[in-house]
Amino acid sequence: MKFRKLLVFLLVSLPVIGLAQTSDSEIEKALLAAPANLKEAATVIKWKPDFTYETLKKGTNRLVCYDRSGFPEQQPFSIECTSLGNLDRVAQNLKFEAAGEKSKTQALIDAAEKDGTRVKPEYGSVWYHVMGADAEHTRKHMTIAIPGATTQSTGLPDNAKQGGVWIMNAGTSAAHIMTPGE
């Protein structure tokens, strides 16, 4: 009788233990892009196919991290962190990228920019990325969102020719500061 109880307990418990381990590994992976001083208090989410998300770890700061590996138009290993206030923008990006081709995605983005439905990122929010062919071959990249910013409004150039920081996508909702070496 004791053996049966133990067997029933194990059969019920093992799937739960497996889920916890998967969740822990998903959380650890998503936090790879987070700066060390923000990592412990960051929120971690998992995107669903309908462009909503499940919270895997509730944080106490404004940073949210997630795994984009295997998503359309992403590298095989792709992790991103940004401000919680940018999740609507990320969801819209995922929806557009689901078109599966860069030209189609860009056409959707351009149409949303033109008709005013493009979700803007939080001004000054940071986007942290770790991406590459696999976990052993990655590069880090960081940008700072400055939607609508131009050379005239910031004094920053709109190209990298001067060797310093510059604005990519100037004048659009996607305008962001690029940093040399990033």
Question: Is the separation of the CB atoms in 100 and 114 below 8 Å?
Answer: no
3-state secondary structure labels for all residues of 133-170: EECCEEEEEEEEECCCCCHHHHCCCCCCCCCCCEEECC
Containing domain of residue 112, as a range? Answer: 2-145
179 is a domain residue: no
What average pLDDT does the chain have? 89
124 is a domain residue: yes
159 is a domain residue: no
DSSP letters spanning 88-111: HHHHHHHHHHTT-SHHHHHHHHHH
Q: Which two tokens stand for residue 109?
A: 């983005």
Domain count, the chain: 1
The pLDDT tens digits for 79-131 are: 999 999 999 999 999 999 999 899 999 999 999 999 999 999 999 999 999 99
69 is a domain residue: yes
> Phi then psi for 76, rounded to 5 degrees?
-55, -35
The pLDDT tens digits for 13-24 are: 444 444 444 589
154 is a domain residue: no
Residue with tokens 């949210």: 64
182 is a domain residue: no
176 is a domain residue: no
Q: Give the confidence band of 181 by pLDDT, cuts at 50, 70, 90.
A: confident
Q: Which residues contact 115 (CB under 8 A, 6 or more apart)?
A: none
The model's pTM is 0.84
Q: Which two tokens stand for residue 111?
A: 């149409």
48 is a domain residue: yes
Provide the pLDDT for residue 17. 43
In percent, the amount of the chain with pLDDT more than 70 equals 87
